[in-house]
């Protein structure tokens, strides 16, 4: 499974020369927050400080630094940039930038930071590798989360993105019990009875950030009846279930649309639960 640390290592391995650009100050309306950072090599970039003319300017200055002879080029550049018409942006704020070459020590600091950020990523468990499961996996593969798709069928797990973990198990509800605190669970298997078992297990987790089940109002009502009469559930616990996932404001049942709406809903729930989704402070800032 490819995580931030592997992507960072790959970039640095292919960029013997690189510069770290980071936001040291953000006043007013700005594209990114203090601590946001990116790497710039002569041929490529990794990360972003917000795009637009601000980023173009930073990339140009970083590449000038990298191209200059060591006895001529600056070792550290500090910029104070107003985001106004003079640079083609209308944010109205002001951004402080720091640009410095990546040496061996900074490289190791950044790798160590990426390892910490990977370890702190919130966990999302997608139960079911059908059409919506695959679409959710694709959505989560682009986000700062540790996503795992769980299924009882091996072929359902084929073709998942490299950045998404897959787990083949005959007893998927066990994955709920093993999940870290603050995890999100979204249930959409091929079997309604299995959905009910997994959801009931997830609702036992008072520390879950999100418990969602795909389905209609009828399916939700059927689950509620079973949960209260047979599974020992309560109205208070049942109220924590999100179903249908992604809400019902958009009447579009295509898998990619459901996944987009559900991914936004789950990310919101993770933030409200206190998961560390924001970009961490870069090593250069100390």
162-172 tens-digit pLDDT:
889 999 999 99
Instruction: Kindly tell me if the per-residue pLDDT of 240 is higher than 50.
Output: yes
**Angstrom distance (rounded) from CA 243 to CA 228:** 16
**Whole-number average pLDDT of the chain:** 91
More reliable by pLDDT, 13 or 276: 13
**Nearest to residue 58, comparing CAs of 29, 85, 90, 83?**
83
The distance in angstroms from the start CA to the end CA of the chain is: 29
Instruction: Kindly tell me if the per-residue pLDDT of 150 is higher than 70.
Output: yes
Per-residue confidence (pLDDT) for residue 72, from 0 to 100: 55
Per-residue confidence (pLDDT) for residue 276, from 0 to 100: 67
Q: All domains of the chain, ordered by start, with CATH?
A: 4-118 (no CATH), 121-273 (3.40.50.720)
Neighbours of 118 (CB within 10 A): 15
Per-residue confidence (pLDDT) for residue 96, from 0 to 100: 94
**Angstrom distance (rounded) from CA 94 to CA 80:** 7
DSSP annotation of 128: -
Per-residue confidence (pLDDT) for residue 283, from 0 to 100: 45
* Contact of 176 with 125, CB cutoff 8 Å: yes
| 278: Cβ contacts below 8 Å, ≥ 6 apart | 33
């Amino acid at each position: 499974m490819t995580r931030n640390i592997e992507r960072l290592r790959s970039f640095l391995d292919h960029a013997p020369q690189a510069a770290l650009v980071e936001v040291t100050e953000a006043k007013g309306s700005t594209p990114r927050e203090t601590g946001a950072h990116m790497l710039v090599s002569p041929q490529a970039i990794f990360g972003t400080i917000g795009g637009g003319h601000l980023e173009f300017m930073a990339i140009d200055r970083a590449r000038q630094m990298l191209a200059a002879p060591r006895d001529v080029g600056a070792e550290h550049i500090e910029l104070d940039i107003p985001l106004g018409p003079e640079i083609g942006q209308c944010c109205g704020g002001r951004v402080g930038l720091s640009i410095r070459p990546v040496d061996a020590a900074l490289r190791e600091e950044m790798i160590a930071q990426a390892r910490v950020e990977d370890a702190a990523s919130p966990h999302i468990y997608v139960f079911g590798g059908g059409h919506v499961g695959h679409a959710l996996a694709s959505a989560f593969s682009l986000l700062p989360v540790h996503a795992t798709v769980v299924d009882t069928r091996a072929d359902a797990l084929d073709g998942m993105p490299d950045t998404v973990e897959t787990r083949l198990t005959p007893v998927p509800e066990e994955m709920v019990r093993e999940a870290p605190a603050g995890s999100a669970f979204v249930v959409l298997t091929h079997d309604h009875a299995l959905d009910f078992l997994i959801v009931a297990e997830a609702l036992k987790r008072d520390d879950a950030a999100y418990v969602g089940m795909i389905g209609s109002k009828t399916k939700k009502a059927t689950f509620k009846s079973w949960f209260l009469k047979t599974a020992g559930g309560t109205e208070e616990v049942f109220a924590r279930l999100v179903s249908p996932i992604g809400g019902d404001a958009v009447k579009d049942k295509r898998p990619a649309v459901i996944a987009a709406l559900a991914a936004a809903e789950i990310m919101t729930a993770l933030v409200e639960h206190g998961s560390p989704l924001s970009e961490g402070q870069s090593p250069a800032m100390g």
